[in-house]
Amino acid sequence: MLSQQYQDNIDTLLKKIEEAEAIVVGGVAGMSKAIGYSFYHTDENFLKHFGKFADNYSIKNLFEGFYYRFSTREERWAYLATEMKLIHDAEAGRPYLDLLQLLQDKNYFIVTTNQDTQFSKTFPEVKVSPIQGDLRYFQCGSRCHDQIYFNKDQVETMYANIDGTRIPTELIPVCSKCGQEMEPWIQFSGCLLHYNKS
């Protein structure tokens, strides 16, 4: 049962939404955590999908794995393909669907630091600004141009060809313009992420 203060807060929020001429939503990790998606903990979902990486590299969660310095590009891309397939396959969660219902018929816009694409799966993409990127896209690792590329087909192919914790070298995505390795379209703390190839 909800406490009176909690219920009062909900009632106030609903009233403000009803009265607002426009609404800006700031969406962060708690929305996805409420579904049961955790990027920062070892849980059943992580072990189900990343058990081999946990066993072989002592990686404890999705966040740690994304930044792990794998010895080879083939291992790194096997991990990334697994994470990106999980992102592509995940259905929109209940907190996002509930928010959509609350905002229906309202003038709203969403700014999010989440990279798991839950907002973009639930809301029209023109209403969502993923300011730290979106794991469903690749960009040129050398930044030779600004275009981003939807990666679902490449991810499916990489994932289907994982052998242990590696993919074949020829499946590592490369830029069609300059031939350099692609990168996930992700920013963190304002810095574009690069793989340390040294």
Q: Is the dihedral of CA 29, 31, 32, 35 positive or negative?
A: positive
Sign of CA dihedral 136, 138, 143, 146: negative
Task: From first to last of the 198 residues of the chain, give the pLDDT tens digit.
Answer: 668 888 888 899 889 999 999 999 999 888 888 887 767 778 888 889 999 999 999 999 988 999 999 999 999 999 999 999 999 999 999 999 999 999 999 999 999 988 889 999 999 999 999 999 999 999 999 999 999 999 999 999 999 999 999 999 999 999 999 999 999 998 744 334 433 333
pTM, two decimals, is: 0.84
Alpha-carbon gap, residue 179 to 189, rounded angstroms: 27
Phi–psi pair at 5, nearest 5 degrees: -65, -40
Give domain limits for the chain: 21-192
